[in-house]
Amino acid sequence: MPSVNDPYHDRLEEDANAVFQDCDYVTDSATYHDVMRPEVVEFLRFIDTNTGLYTRTRSDRIAVHRTKKEVIQYECKTRPHKNRDLCIEALPLAIHSCLARNFSVDCLYVCRDLDGDYGFWCSEMPEIINLVLTKRGAHFHQMLINEFVKSGHLDQFDVDVYRDRFATFQAYQEAGLTVPRRGSRIFNETSNRGSGDPYVFMIKAGLMKWQDLIGEGTAAVAA
């Protein structure tokens, strides 16, 4: 997973801030380690309860329009090499998806890799290719699955096959149901690469540039 403490990420954040400011927004950091006292941050980063995780996964940045009643939260994501697919940490994405789906609190993902710039609103997430569950955070794996099923990005077949592949295929056949010509889009990763947090691969082909989404999304945000 990409690091947030590198010049490549910092440059994207600066570019996004500049585009928002050109559109008459003021911007600031909203992430917990910038807005909370160091003592609170030090304790909070070791607490993996649901409330602790939610607090740590709030959006990185916020943009507030100078004259209109518009507020946008946004996340900057970088991968400094070419990628066929988009790789995003699963828990923050699921929380943003839930907030967008249930409360119309949307979040703009601002992405950059060596193929260029692209982005998406969490209310209109691209297709999930795989949800990769890691050893870390096993206690919230079911919450991730539930949210991506409710948002329509995974289905019950993915869940059934993930839990018991062979019994699922037999049950579908016995019930006369069509068995999709694929396995589950949910699987476990046993390696210890990167941060160790669950993540998703998403289709990035056809995504708009995040610069264009900033102007396009403000009407929906204000509604």
Concatenated DSSP letters of 76-139: EEEESS--SEEEEEHHHHHHHHHHHHHH---EEEEEEETTEEEEEEGGGPPPEEEEEE-STTGG
Whole-angstrom Cα Rg for the chain: 19
pLDDT digits (tens, 9 = 90+) for 145-181: 999 999 999 988 888 888 876 677 777 777 777 767 6
Q: Does residue 1 sit within a domain?
A: no
Structure tokens at 145: 């699955």
Q: Does residue 2 sit within a domain?
A: no
Q: Does residue 14 sit within a domain?
A: yes
Taking alpha carbons only, the member of 87, 194, 198, 57 closest to residue 138 is 198
Beta-sheet strand order (sheet of 107-113)? 25-29, 61-65, 71-79, 107-113, 116-121
CATH number at residue 167: 3.40.1350.10
Q: How far apart are CA 58 and CA 36, in angstroms?
A: 13
Query: Domain span at residue 155?
Result: 7-222
Residue 31 is predicted with a pLDDT of 93
Taking alpha carbons only, the member of 87, 83, 102, 97 closest to residue 1 is 87
Q: How confident is the model at residue 3 (pLDDT cuts 50, 70, 90)?
A: very low
- The domain total for the chain is 1
Beta carbons of 216 and 159 less than 8 angstroms apart = no
Taking alpha carbons only, the member of 95, 104, 75, 185 closest to residue 140 is 95
This prediction has a pTM of 0.87
* Ordered DSSP codes for 170-202: HHHHHTT----SS--SEEE--S--TT---EEEE
pLDDT digits (tens, 9 = 90+) for 78-135: 988 777 899 999 999 999 999 999 999 999 999 999 889 999 999 999 999 999 998 8
| Mean pLDDT of the residues in the chain | 87
Q: Does residue 47 sit within a domain?
A: yes
Q: 116 - beta bridge partners?
A: 113
